[in-house]
């Protein structure tokens, strides 16, 4: 019968996509010289509502992989499919971003001005398509996934012989232990690795400088994804039970994170203070993912139109993710020459809405074309649609 489609995962992916678009829209305006302090503070407050975006993509990538490919897999065919769905679109969009930034530079058309060496560098360290670093990071997870899946299968076999209560305690211990080790790694990354980078020579300094590109720096989300995929109903129940607590933790860390950024910034707000690789940011991200997941579950049957919209956004979010920075570049072509004093907040919100709508529209259109897999990672739908979770349960009840 195959596995059912878990609707809240697609809806959560839709929210994560919107959060990432908002982050990058804010980054386009918050560092401008003519911004007023009121706009800076308001944009910082909105920014900290969106920190869950990229880590949520990591978590969902992990939970989907373990959900669908948790058993033994053929490494060759598995990796070819992943490269086709993810890496080929990365290569295509890397070239598109590289060309877009350079074709408007007069020196590009001069003899020798093309600088194709910089294009090769973009394949490993994306700069013009700044959001594409995520593809390189998640690709590492795909490469090592068969090994990780084997470890998960081994742990599950050891847990299956335990009683229900002992198994639940063991899972909680694994999550807690992994979380503590992960926070320790984040503490070292945030407070010490910067000094290491300045002392060490190449290539170690470069590896530390670009540590956010390593999938190991997001290891906690992969572990939780594996556990979530194997215990969907229990995780759902826990999300709902923890709603009051996850909400309180989120509010507390939201205040703390905003205070840290405003206190640590000078005349210009420094959003890098709340990087993903900071222990306090990690806490607000985990709390917000649990909070949003629980709220999505609570909304089932009550806000059908809104959830359908989120599901649609989530369905085309990968293509939207690939293209959205290009849309922001196009908008910035018109806004950067303007003086926006006192208007950075409304212009940022307008940019967000235009970018989200245009990116999803482009993703939807491209997904309808032949060869869409190579452009936006989407295949054209076969006549028979995938089963929903309700349909799957209805069929299962017949056996």
pTM recorded for the entire structure:
0.90
Q: Using CA atoms, how far apart are residues 171 and 167, in angstroms rounded to an integer?
A: 6
Lowest mean pLDDT among 28-32, 144-148, 375-379: 375-379
Average pLDDT over residues 322-346: 94
Lowest mean pLDDT among 7-16, 66-75, 143-152: 66-75
Average pLDDT over residues 313-340: 95
229: nearest Cα among 33, 29, 6:
6
- pLDDT > 90 in the chain, percent: 65
19: nearest Cα among 56, 64, 44:
56
Judged by DSSP in three states, 201 sits in: coil
**Residue pointed to by tokens 């489609």:** 5
Angle (CA) 386 391 396, round 5° = 110
Tokens of 396: 């299962």
DSSP string, 315-377: HTHHHHHHHHHHHHHHHHHHHTTS--TT-HHHHHHHHHHHHHHHHHHHHHHHHTSTTHHHHHS
The predicted pLDDT at position 379 comes to 61
Angle (CA) 204 207 211, round 5° = 140
Lowest mean pLDDT among 4-8, 88-92, 357-361, 383-387: 383-387
Q: Is residue 388 scored above 50 in pLDDT?
A: yes
Q: Which residue has the higher pLDDT, 354 or 110?
A: 354
pLDDT-derived band at 395, boundaries 50, 70, 90: very low
The predicted pLDDT at position 282 comes to 95
Lowest mean pLDDT among 151-160, 191-200, 227-236, 247-256: 191-200
Average pLDDT over residues 366-378: 89
Q: Measured on CA atoms in the order 76, 78, 82, 88, is the torsion positive or negative?
A: positive
CB neighbour list of residue 282: distance below 8 Å, 6 or more residues apart: 182, 183, 186, 220, 276
Q: Using CA atoms, how far apart are residues 4 and 20, in angstroms rounded to an integer?
A: 27
Q: What is the pLDDT of residues 224-270, one digit of tens each?
A: 999 999 999 999 999 999 999 999 999 999 999 999 998 888 778 88
């Amino acid at each position: 019968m195959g596995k059912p489609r878990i609707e809240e995962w697609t809806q959560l992916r839709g929210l994560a996509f919107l959060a990432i678009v908002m982050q990058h829209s804010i980054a386009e305006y918050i560092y401008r010289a003519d911004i007023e302090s009121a706009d800076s503070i308001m944009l910082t407050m909105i920014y900290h509502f969106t920190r869950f975006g990229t880590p949520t993509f990591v978590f969902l990538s992990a939970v989907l992989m373990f959900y669908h490919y948790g058993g033994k897999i053929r490494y060759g065919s598995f990796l070819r499919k992943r490269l086709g769905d993810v890496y080929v679109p990365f290569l295509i969009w890397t070239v598109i971003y590289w060309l877009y930034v350079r074709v408007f530079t007069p020196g590009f058309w001069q003899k020798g001005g093309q600088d194709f060496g910089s294009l090769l560098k973009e394949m490993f360290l994306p700069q013009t398509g700044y959001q594409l670093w995520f593809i390189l990071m998640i690709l590492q997870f795909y490469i090592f996934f068969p090994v990780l899946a084997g470890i998960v299968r081994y742990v599950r076999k050891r847990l299956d012989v335990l009683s229900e209560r002992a198994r639940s305690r063991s899972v909680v211990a694994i999550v807690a232990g992994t979380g503590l080790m992960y926070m320790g790694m984040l503490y070292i990354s945030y407070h010490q690795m910067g000094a290491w980078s300045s002392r060490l020579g190449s290539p170690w300094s470069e590896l530390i400088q670009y540590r956010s590109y390593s999938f190991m720096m997001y290891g906690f989300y992969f572990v939780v994804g594996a556990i979530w995929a194997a215990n969907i109903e229990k995780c759902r129940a826990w999300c709902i039970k923890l709603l009051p607590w996850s909400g309180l933790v989120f509010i507390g860390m939201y205040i703390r994170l905003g205070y840290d950024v405003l206190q640590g910034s000078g005349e210009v707000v420094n959003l890098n203070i709340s990087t993903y690789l900071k222990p306090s940011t990690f806490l607000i991200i985990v709390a917000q993912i649990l909070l949003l997941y629980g709220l999505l579950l609570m909304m089932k049957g009550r806000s059908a139109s809104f959830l359908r919209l989120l599901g649609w956004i989530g369905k085309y979010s990968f293509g939207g993710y690939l293209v959205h920075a290009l849309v922001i570049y196009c908008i910035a072509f018109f806004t950067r020459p303007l003086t926006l004093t006192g208007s950075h907040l409304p212009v940022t919100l307008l940019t967000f809405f235009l970018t989200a709508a245009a990116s999803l529209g482009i993703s939807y259109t491209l997904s309808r074309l032949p060869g869409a897999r190579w452009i936006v990672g989407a295949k054209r739908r076969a006549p028979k649609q995938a089963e929903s979770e309700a349909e799957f349960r209805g069929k299962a009840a017949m056996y």
